[in-house]
A and B are shown apart, each in its own frame.
Chain A
C-alpha cells in the first residue's frame, strides 16, 4: 500500500543535523504492523504499519481525524488494536495499558497536558513513582530529576508549582516526566499547538538533543512545515490508512507531502486563496474602542488603556504570546467580560458593555476559542445551533418556544454552514473538532453579523476546514463588516489580517498595516513589548 514518493525537487533549506544518520545500522525501537482499529462502525485505522528508529524524529502527519492520535494511543496502550502486531525492542508484545507502555520504555506527551497545577514540578514527576514516598530514597530521585532538568534547560527550580509555569515550560515538565521514567520512545501529540514561535524553536532544539542520545521520537502533527523542519522520516495517514513513509524527509517536498495528505486534489494554497482585498485606505471605522481597562478576578490588570478601531471591510489581527490580554480583549468586545472602564461604540452608537445579547443585537458576534466556551457539548447539535437565538421573539409565542420554527432554523443553519450531520438531535460532542467549530461559527454568523470577534478559530483544524473558516470571515468583511481575529499563529495572521495589533502585558504595543508586515518586528513586540529597532 505504501507507494514510494517520487523524489521531487527538494525545497531549498538548511540540512538537518541528524546525528543518527552517522550510525551504521539504525536499529528499530518499535515496529507496528498491520494495525486495524474500529470504534463501532467507524474504522479509525486500517492495516497501518509504522516503525520508529533509534535516534530519529519520526513525523506522523495527516489531517484531523486521519488516525494519528489513535495509532499512537494504540502504541501507548490506551486502545487495544483489533488486529496487527506490535514489536518493542525486538520483542513482540501487546501493550495492555499506559502503565505497561511506560514500563516498556514508551512515553507519551498528550496534547492536553496531564499535570497537577497545584503540585510542584518534583511532585508531578514523582507522582506515580511509589518508591519516592520513602524519604531516604526521595533525595536521590530528586537529584536525578534535577540533573535531567539541567541537562534539558528547564531552568526553573523544581520546587515551583506547575500552575505558575508557562505552557511551554509545562510541556517540558511532561517530557521530563517521560525521560525520568526512562522512555526510549517518546510520543508527542501536536506539541506545538500551544507554543509560541520561540518556544517551538526551543522544543525542536530539545528534541534534537534527545535524539542525539538515542531516543526515538514520534511527532504527531498536521503542520507540514514542522515536519519539514525537524522530522527525519515522515509517515502520512489519510482517513485511517497508511499513505506512505518517506525514507528521508530531505528527499521529499512540501508539494509531495500535501499530495499524500490530501490525495490528488490538494486544497488550494492558502496564501493564494486568501490574498485579501486591499482594504480601502479611508474606510469608515465601525467598531471603536476607547481606553478599555479590565482586571482579572484576582485584581490584576489584564487590559490596560486599550484603544482601537476596526474599519469597514477590515480584519484586525491580534498577535501576542498567549496570556497577554488577547483573550480578555476579545471577551470584552464580545460583551462576555465587563471592563472596569472604557467604552465601546459601534457605528457611532455606544454599546452596553458586559452584555452578550446587547452586542449581538448590534451585530457583534463572538466565536470563542475553547469549545466548552462556545458549546454545551452534551446537548444536541440542534440545541447548540439555536443557543444564541432561542430567546428571540420570532421563536416564542405566549411565552412558549416554537419548536418547529427552531427546528427549521437549526436545519437551515446546518445546511448553510455545511455541518455534515444527518440528524441534529445527537450530542454535538459526537462531531469532529472541525465540525464542532462549524457549529460555533454557524451560530455566530447566522444573522449577517457586522462584526465578528473570533479567537483561534482554526486551532486544531485541518487545512481545508481552516481555509473555510477564513473564507467565512472574509465573507463578513466583504460585505462591509469587520472582524477582530486573535491568533498566536503569526503565519495565519499574516495571511488573513489587514492590520495586526500586537499585545504585550495587556497593552497594544504596536500596529502594523498589511503593506508593512514585518515578522521580525512583530516577533520582537510580542516577546519584549518593544520594537526591535
Chain B
C-alpha cells in the first residue's frame, strides 16, 4: 500500500484532465477524409515549387499505388505492418494513452520472431505460428513496461515509449551486427529466416503474402475487443473520464498496463509479418518508421479498428506511390511523409480551435 495506490485519481498525477481530454481532443468538426484531401492540396505547394505539375505528381502516386496487380500488392505489403502498428497505437489511444513505442515494440517482435525461427525447430506451419506467437508476446511485454511505469510511477507514457524505442532499436542493431550476423557482405544483415518459418507467398506476381490474413484477423479481433467486450468499454470510459472510471471500480492501473500490452502485441505482430513475409532477415534498416506512421493512422481513425485498416491502406498506397513519383517525376519521396503528417496537424489544429470555443461556451 504505497502512497500511489490510494491516490483517488489513480495514475493521474498531473494528468487527470489531460487524459480524458485527449480522446475527444482530436474530435473536431473536420473529418479525416477532408483532412487528407486538404493535405493533398497543401502538399501541392512544395511539389509545384519543385517545378512539377502537382496533378501529374499525384496521378503518378495513384498509379504507383493502385495501377495494377503488382502496384496493389506493394500497397498491401506496406498496409500490413502499418495496419498492425496502427492498432498498436489505437488500442491505448482509446483509453487516453499515446503509444509512441510501436516502433520499438515492432522491432522486438521481429527480433523474437527471428530468434524462434532460428533456434526453435518446428515443422512448417507450426513454426510460423510459433514465431508469430513469440513476436506478439515480446511486443506485449515491451508494451507493458511503459504501462507499468505509468501505473506505478506516474511516468508519462509518451516519454517512456519514445525512450524505450531506442533501447529496442539498438538491441536489434546489436543482434544484427554481432551474434546473428550472417557472414557475407559489408553491410550487417542477420541470418535468414528458414523456409519453414516464412509466411507463404500468395500468387506469383508481386508481394502478396499470408501476413495479409494476419492483419485482417487482427482488425477483426480488435474490433470485437473494442466494441463488444468489457475490456473495450472500460477503455472507452477511461478515455472520456478517468475519475469516473476509477470511481465505478475500473482498475485504472491494470487497464493502463493491459491496454499498452495489447497494443504492443499488435506491434509485435507487425514486426513479425514484415520479417516472415517480406524481408526474411533483419538489418539496421529493417523498420522504415511504420511505428510512427501508425500514430497518424490511429489518430485519423480515432481508435476505430476498421478505419485503422482503411487509413493503413491509404498510407500504404502513399508509400508505394511516392516511390514511383520520385522515379518518374523527380519529386523527393519525402513528400509522402509530409502528406502523412499534414492531415494529423490539420485535425489537431481544428480540435484545438473547437476546444477553445467550447471552453468559452462552458465558462459562459
Contacts and interface: CB of A to CB of B under 8 A. Distances in A.
Contacts of B363: 78, 110, 112, 114
A376 B6 contact: no
A401 B229 contact: yes
Contacts of B288: none
Given A387-B237, A400-B228, A400-B229, A335 B249 contact: yes
Given A78-B364, A355-B249, A387-B248, A375 B241 contact: yes
B230 A334 contact: no
A373 B240 contact: no
A400 B224 contact: yes
Given A336-B8, A372-B243, A357 B249 contact: yes
A346 interface: no
Interface in A361-408: 366, 368, 370, 372-379, 383, 387-388, 390-391, 396, 399-401
A331 interface: yes
A376 B245 contact: yes
Instruction: Indicate the size class of the contact surface on chain A.
Output: 35 or more
B237 A336 contact: no
Contacts of B237: 376, 379, 383, 387
Interface in A19-62: none
A383 B230 CA distance: 12
Given A114-B363, A360-B249, A401-B230, A297 B241 contact: no
Interface stretch (A158-166, A249-257, A337-345): A337-345
B247 A373 contact: yes
A11 to B, nearest CB: 35
Contacts of A338: 1, 5-6
B177 interface: no
Interface residues of B, number: 30
A69 interface: yes
Interface string B215-255: 00000000010001110011011001101111111000000
A375 B244 contact: yes
Secondary structure type dominating chain A contacts: loop
Interface string A184-219: 000000000000000000000000000000000000
B29 interface: no
A489 interface: no
Listed residue (B3, B240, B360) with the most chain A CB atoms within 10 angstroms of its CB: B240
B174 to A, nearest CB: 40
A370 B224 CA distance: 33
B206 to A, nearest CB: 38
Nearest to A299: B3
A73 interface: yes
Given A360-B249, A374-B247, A387-B248, A379 B236 contact: yes
A388 B249 contact: yes
A356 B240 contact: no
B249 A356 contact: yes
B364 A79 contact: yes
B10 to A, nearest CB: 9
A339 B6 contact: yes
A296 to B, nearest CB: 9
Interface string B279-322: 00000000000000000000000000000000000000000000
A294 interface: yes
Given A335-B249, A400-B224, A373 B230 contact: no
A373 B4 CA distance: 18
B184 interface: no
Interface in B322-364: 360, 363-364
A78 B360 contact: yes
B13 interface: yes
A297 B3 contact: yes
Contacts of B234: 391
A69 B362 CA distance: 11
Given A356-B248, A391-B230, A372 B1 contact: no
5 smallest beta-carbon distances between A and B, as pairs: A376-B241, A338-B6, A356-B249, A357-B249, A376-B240
Interface of B: 1, 3-8, 13, 20, 24, 224, 228-230, 233-234, 236-237, 240-241, 243-249, 360, 363-364
Interface of A: 69-70, 73, 78-79, 110, 112, 114, 294-295, 297, 299, 331, 334-340, 354-357, 360, 366, 368, 370, 372-379, 383, 387-388, 390-391, 396, 399-401, 443
Given A373-B243, A378-B241, 19 more contacts: A69-B364, A70-B364, A112-B363, A295-B6, A331-B8, A334-B247, A335-B249, A338-B1, A338-B6, A356-B249, A370-B243, A374-B247, A375-B244, A378-B240, A379-B237, A387-B237, A388-B248, A390-B230, A396-B230
17 contacts: A295-B3, A297-B3, A297-B13, A334-B247, A336-B247, A337-B6, A337-B8, A338-B5, A354-B5, A373-B243, A375-B241, A375-B244, A379-B237, A379-B241, A390-B233, A391-B234, A443-B248
